Amino acid sequence: MTSTQAVSFDTFQLAAATADLSDEPPARAYADIVEFRLDLAHADASLPDPLTAITAYDHTSSLPLLVTNRPKWEGGAYGGDTTDRLEMLTAAAAHDAVVAVDIELKTLQTQYGQTVARNLRDDGISIIASTHDFTETPPQSVLHQRLHTAAEVGDVGKLAVTAQTHRDALRVLAATEQASQWGDTVATMAMGKPGRHTRVVAPMYGSRIGYAPVDPTDATAPGQYAIKPLSEMIDTLTQTE
């Protein structure tokens, strides 16, 4: 089912990251889309089943959705096998509110992952090909290679690494700028305190998606700002450009 809410990643999109779709109303003033973490919702017994929640979601008056079902081996919470995980993701993507799905680069490089991505694209869904490093920031050449590969495999290539120093953060921004010069559509960020500011300034270098929780206590990655201050800081930078 093709989404009725087209979103273009040719321009920056700020995503409110959450496992609870009841966070959507307070996010509307600041976010462009909602990243719905199926894996976190599935793992939290206090939350509705993610497919039930997405079925009840009102796509006519709410923000469009980017759905993610992150496995444990990529920093997520889903512990089932790949087939079950992608079947849940595909079922969620059938909802009219969904405009994009996030699938790990490693998964997209498998035959099954390629088939799932092709079927989703046939239904008008954009693919975010993501890669994460929760330990370090790789050398510059590796950053360029990973980001370019992800952008070739997906409609957006997403790279999230962990900065130990401000120099690490600079490498991420340089890789972002280079990817944009190549014509790649990318989303980048450096996790951790030394890289936190990249979430604010990366859009100035060509990053097309930012992520933030509505409530900072619900952060889905290290170093995230809450949605309101991140939106305001990015708007301030954009207005003074």
Is 239 assigned to a binding site? Answer: no
Ordered by start, the domain boundaries in the chain are 13-235
Q: Which fold does the domain 13-235 belong to in CATH? A: TIM Barrel (3.20.20)
User: For every one of its 241 residues, what pLDDT tens digit does the chain have, with 9 covering 90 and above?
Assistant: 334 467 899 999 999 999 999 999 999 999 999 999 999 999 999 999 999 999 999 999 999 999 999 999 999 999 999 999 999 999 999 999 999 999 999 999 999 999 999 999 999 999 999 999 999 999 999 999 999 999 999 999 999 999 999 999 999 999 999 999 999 999 999 999 999 999 999 999 999 999 999 887 777 777 889 999 999 999 999 875 5
Is 35 assigned to a binding site? Answer: yes
- Going along 166-208, which residue ranges are E strands? 186-191
User: Tokens 């994009």 belong to which residue?
Assistant: 100
Q: How far apart are the first and last CA of the chain?
A: 39
- Computed over its alpha carbons, how large is the radius of gyration of the chain? 16
Q: How many CB atoms lie within 10 A of CB 95?
A: 18
Residues assigned a catalytic role = 132, 158
Instruction: Using DSSP bridges, classify how beta strands 33-37 and 65-68 pair: parallel, antiparallel or unpaired.
Output: parallel
Is 37 assigned to a binding site? Answer: yes
